[in-house]
Structure 1
Amino acid sequence: MAASSVCASCLRALRQQARTQLPAPAPRTAFKPTAQRQHLLPHRALSTSPRALNEQHRSPTASTTPTPPPPPSSSTNPPSNAPLSSSSPSTPAGFDTLATTLRDSTAPLLRQTTEPYIAYGSTATLFRACAAQCSYTIPALLASPPQPPPKNAAEEDVGVGEGWWVTPKPNGGLGLDVTFNTWAQVVMLHMYLLTVRLRCFPAVHAPIWHQNLLDHFFYAAEDRMAVWHGMSARSVRNKYLKDLWLQWRGLLLSYDEGLVKGDAVLAAAVWRNVFRAQEGEGVVGDVGTVVGYMRRELGMLGGMSDLEVSEGRVVFGRPEGVGRLVGRESAWMRRSFVAEDFKGVEGK
């Protein structure tokens, strides 16, 4: 959500940079057609000014004989085919490196001028990595004529999804409902993982990158509302977007608390957000799989440099391996407590 003050700052910085570093423009010279272009000119010079047009209408007897082409140059040197140098009047020196100069400048204002644009492009790549984890369509709307989409028990539109999160459990997936809410929660979970890593950026850059990543999500959410759920009225979409914003703020707080207090608290947050606090057989194991997946991906992101993250090289892994690890029973689960286990604990 860019502000108008950013654009004004950009314009001021660009004008100042152009005045201080770019050379003075070359003086304008009258256009003189060459011998090769002379035959392409019309027989009578035309002008768009009203005075010239009136003179042309008042002088129908004016000579229309074209001016003879100038004689060829007597120089024996052939024309040069070398590319123009940066000091050529047609390409002022330093113009092609203006963006690089702004990025390498020691002035904070000049560096911040290009930051929103770089962050916008890079976070678009990062958001695509998040959105690739879960996607869905509603085939009923693609029929001819379109049919009403099927509903679940909560009266939500149900579609056909792709990704481990919505793949049925017999096929090795998590088996979540293929709805807009599931898509939003899965994408926001991966956005949270990226947000934790973006917080490690320098303080002057982190808010810009986080805001651009969030903007991409809300653009995609609004587009999905209009295309797949028939919300053509902006007022209706804005209502759901506000609810989605509140969910994002609550998700940040609950997942942050889980990272600080431990896996049990993080599992409770995942159970409330992703699984919507549903009960059933195997839910505990599924929640443990998601928590293990989050911990593993956070470790992967923590091992990446700021440059790798800013260039969009993030690739999320597959959760299947984590599920097999969580399903293994710990050797300590069936071991009885004996006195030898507590040696050296007395007095602590």
Structure 2
Amino acid sequence: MASTSVCASCLRALRQQARKEIQIQSQSSFASLRSKQQPNTRRLLSTTARSFAAPEPQQQQRFTKPPPPKSSSPSNANPSAFDLSQLASQLRKTDTLRSATEPYIAYGSTEDLFRACAKQCDYTVPNVRKSPPEPAPKNAAQEDVGVGSGWWVTPKEQGGLGLDVTFNTWAQVIFLHMYLLTVRLRCFPKEHAGIWHQNLLDHFFYAAEDKMAVWHGMTARGVRNKYLKDLWLQWRGLLLSYDEGLINGDAVLATAVWRNLFKSSEEADIADVALVTAYMRRQLARLDEMKDDMFASGEVDFEAPEAVKALAGKDSSWMHKSFSSEDLKELEQAQAQPQTQTQK
């Protein structure tokens, strides 16, 4: 990616490497100093009268503690994190090292990004933890219903969206926020965007499999793999439907939100669908203003959906504007142009 930021793991490794080099230099300096002060053993074993003479001043120094080795540069003795960060940032600018370290940085950064998505909605099934375990309550679609937290599953009486506290709701809410991040990750360099997208998706499937085993009693790996494949197909369809909405307008995007998040329910409130659509547009604008370094450091968060209520509750000025005959002609011409192009 275009960022030259370095993760904490890489910075820690560079700091340890610097300390090892300083220790090796100190040991080599100490060994060279001892070799200079080592007395001549042949003279100690000699039988001549000179061997019984008083030791020379240089020989007396061998019983004293040698002075500590002098460091060549004070800055190398205690390298600061800022210096190591600058060194790593310079090394990251090279294409070879950046390609080698990108998967590690992407893995750690996307873990923080997924945590930001998981904060929006979470749930547990307390009946499973009872002794003895009790079956979880079911909804009309025979899905396990738990106890959740977050605006998306908070009842409408308490100011929330009021979605069912189920595994499917949890997955769709996280999918929605992962899609918002994916749109921004597509702006990364082509050779790195796929790595970030894949790592973000892997974190979701790790969490999804953990939910299945802990709260839904899916101890068989084959059963979990079956549901994970279904989630993969849902994710692929969600990408296509939300991308179509971004291109063709809010009406198409609202339809995709209604199908995925509200399960195409006829009882869904159109105001809630409009609120989620406005929320997605606003978050995409916020993410577009963020720099790549913020994604590398994991400093990405989402705005509270309550802040969009005032925006979604306003009527558009075009709702109360009457169309003139000229406006209708322009609209008819705009609708006729795509048809003529397809016929050609």
Same fold (TM over 0.5): yes
SS of 1:161's partner is: strand
Q: Tell me: CA distance 1:292–1:106, structure 2 relative to 1, closer, same or farther (3 Å).
A: closer
Asked if 1:115 corresponds to 2:136, the answer is no
Indicate the residue corresponding to 1:317 in structure 2: 303
Indicate the residue corresponding to 1:307 in structure 2: 293
Residue of structure 2 aligned with 1:260, choices 247, 250, 258: 247
Tell me the number of residue pairs that the alignment of Structure 1 and Structure 2 aligns: 279
Alignment of 1:261-300 (within 5 A): 261-280=248-267, 283-300=269-286
Indicate the residue corresponding to 1:132 in structure 2: 119
Indicate the residue corresponding to 1:183 in structure 2: 170
CA distance in 1, matches of 2:260, 2:331: 39
Indicate the residue corresponding to 1:229 in structure 2: 216
CA distance in 2, matches of 1:152, 1:346: 47
Taking structure 2 as the reference length, the TM-score comes to 0.71
Residue of structure 1 aligned with 2:145, choices 158, 173, 183: 158
1:191-217: CA deviation from partner (whole Å, max 9, x where unpaired): 000000000011111111111101100
One-letter identity of the residue aligned with 2:108: G
Q: Tell me: CA distance 1:103–1:123, structure 2 relative to 1, closer, same or farther (3 Å).
A: farther
Q: Tell me: CA distance 1:116–1:313, structure 2 relative to 1, closer, same or farther (3 Å).
A: same
Quote the offset at 1:87 in angstroms: 8.6
Alignment of 1:200-239 (within 5 A): 200-239=187-226
CA distance in 2, matches of 1:347, 1:154: 46
CA distance in 1, matches of 2:311, 2:283: 15
CA distance in 2, matches of 1:98, 1:115: 16
Q: Tell me: CA distance 1:308–1:98, structure 2 relative to 1, closer, same or farther (3 Å).
A: closer
CA distance in 2, matches of 1:271, 1:258: 12
Q: Which has the higher contact order (CA 8 A, sep 6+)?
A: 2
Deviates more, 1:211-220 or 1:308-317: 308-317
1:288-327: CA deviation from partner (whole Å, max 9, x where unpaired): 0000000000000000011112211111001112123222
User: Equivalent pairs: percent with the same residue?
Assistant: 61
CA distance in 2, matches of 1:131, 1:80: 54
One-letter identity of the residue aligned with 1:315: D
One-letter identity of the residue aligned with 2:120: Q
SS of 2:290's partner is: coil
Deviates more, 1:75-84 or 1:297-306: 75-84
Q: Tell me: CA distance 1:159–1:341, structure 2 relative to 1, closer, same or farther (3 Å).
A: same
SS of 1:205's partner is: helix
Residue of structure 1 aligned with 2:63, choices 63, 68, 74: 74
Asked if 1:251 corresponds to 2:248, the answer is no
SS of 2:190's partner is: coil
Alignment of 1:87-98 (within 5 A): none
CA distance in 2, matches of 1:339, 1:240: 55
CA distance in 1, matches of 2:107, 2:98: 15
Cα RMSD of the aligned pairs, angstroms, is 3.6
Indicate the residue corresponding to 2:337 in structure 1: none
CA distance in 2, matches of 1:203, 1:109: 16
Asked if 1:329 corresponds to 2:315, the answer is yes
CA distance in 2, matches of 1:345, 1:97: 61
Q: Tell me: CA distance 1:191–1:343, structure 2 relative to 1, closer, same or farther (3 Å).
A: closer
For structure 2, which runs of at least 5 residues remain unmatched after alignment? 1-16, 32-59, 78-82, 335-344
1:32-85: CA deviation from partner (whole Å, max 9, x where unpaired): 9xxxxxxxxxxxxxxxxxxxxxxxxxxxxxxxxxxxxxx995336555698998
Deviates more, 1:310-319 or 1:119-128: 310-319
Q: Tell me: CA distance 1:99–1:179, structure 2 relative to 1, closer, same or farther (3 Å).
A: farther
Asked if 1:141 corresponds to 2:128, the answer is yes
CA distance in 1, matches of 2:133, 2:210: 19
Whose helix proportion is higher, 1 or 2?
A: 2
Deviates more, 1:222-231 or 1:139-148: 139-148
Indicate the residue corresponding to 2:161 in structure 1: 174
1:140-178: CA deviation from partner (whole Å, max 9, x where unpaired): 112222211100111100001101100011111111000
1:273-300: CA deviation from partner (whole Å, max 9, x where unpaired): 00000012x6211110000000000000
Quote the offset at 1:104 in angstroms: 1.4
One-letter identity of the residue aligned with 2:248: K
Deviates more, 1:210-219 or 1:77-86: 77-86
Q: Tell me: CA distance 1:212–1:220, structure 2 relative to 1, closer, same or farther (3 Å).
A: same
For structure 1, which runs of at least 5 residues remain unmatched after alignment? 1-17, 33-70, 89-95
Q: Tell me: CA distance 1:111–1:100, structure 2 relative to 1, closer, same or farther (3 Å).
A: farther
